[in-house]
Amino acid sequence: MPMLLIEGVFRIAGTRPDGDTVRFHPNNPDHWDLVPGRPVRRNSTGGANLRLEGIDTLETHYRPPSGGQELHQPKEFADRAADELLSWLGFTQVQRKPDGTVTSSTPQQAPGYILTRGADPHGRCVALVGKGQHAKRSGESIDAKVKELKKTVNHHLLAVGLAYPLFYRTLFPDLRQELTAVAQKARKDGEGLWPDDKTTDGAQAAAAPTITPDVVLPKFFRRLAEYIVLNNGDPDLGGFRAFLAQKADKFTVLSDGHFTTGLDLVVEVINATEVRMTREPEDLVFDEG
């Protein structure tokens, strides 16, 4: 899988990193212009937010498109994922404000690199994230195999059970299969969040701002949050599947090769306040919006 290699540093002061988003500054800011497809959205110092490829961690501060207050999933695993990401990158003694903004850390920045094939619709660079220096030259395309993937925090967070797999069509099959295998092993071994996961068992919907007290795939949580907030905070799920059909997420179900539109096709409303997905997260490959 050819991916662009960019070396630089991670800086977290003044940002709100969670388990799958962190700020990266290339050693050469011009290398952002080498990222194919959509432009990477960067700040005045050349830094840009990354979205970690292939994973989805519990939300620490999600605001639905319809507005309203910030929402979060169960903080035990949301915070653990964020802490694990920063620790893996080399940060210690991380101090935060109550809203999650980092005020200080040791060190102030940590060296690392990213492997990327593009940005998402929000301008975040979608990337595999490594620490330290890479053997190849920054700004060049490399063939990213499973060996490279195993050196990334994306792989690590799935291995310790603090992330769900979340796949988009841009991720090559060999890398997707490795991430699937490591996520399934973590589930089988009861690592991290998996003993508490209710994505396919059935989660309880609750009035905003709780949305659900249960641990579920964050993408599923985001759709549920959008619906409940749009429903003026009412958790009644009577219209949830119709809402999902209108959102028209495009995806392929890997187990049967079926391309379809609308998460309503893989969601079951059990009763007025209980809902579940009928497929495991790794069985779905989404089209980028």
- Please tell me whether residues 209 and 167 are part of one structural domain: no
pLDDT digits (tens, 9 = 90+) for 166-196: 999 999 999 999 999 999 999 999 999 999 9
The 3-state DSSP class for residue 162 equals coil
CB 48 within 8 A of CB 114: no
**Among residues 189, 221, 237, which one ends one of the domains?**
189
- Please tell me whether residues 268 and 237 are part of one structural domain: yes
CATH number of the domain enclosing 47? 2.40.50.90
Residue 79: which domain range? 2-189
**Among residues 162, 189, 216, which one ends one of the domains?**
189
- The pLDDT of residue 159 is 98
Whose CA is closest to 2, among 27, 30, 36, 26? 36
Please state, in angstroms and rounded to a whole number, the distance separating the CA atoms of residues 120 and 81. Answer: 21
The 3-state DSSP class for residue 147 equals helix
**Among residues 166, 189, 212, which one ends one of the domains?**
189
Q: How confident is the model at residue 67 (pLDDT cuts 50, 70, 90)?
A: confident
- Please tell me whether residues 147 and 249 are part of one structural domain: no
Angle at 207 between CA 196 and CA 76, to 5 degrees: 30
- Please tell me whether residues 271 and 156 are part of one structural domain: no
pLDDT digits (tens, 9 = 90+) for 121-130: 999 999 999 9
- Please tell me whether residues 178 and 210 are part of one structural domain: no
- Please tell me whether residues 118 and 252 are part of one structural domain: no
**Number of separate domains in the chain:** 2
CB 117 within 8 A of CB 170: yes
Among 66-70, 99-103, 181-185, 245-249, whose mean pLDDT is lowest?
66-70
- Please tell me whether residues 123 and 11 are part of one structural domain: yes
- Please tell me whether residues 89 and 201 are part of one structural domain: no
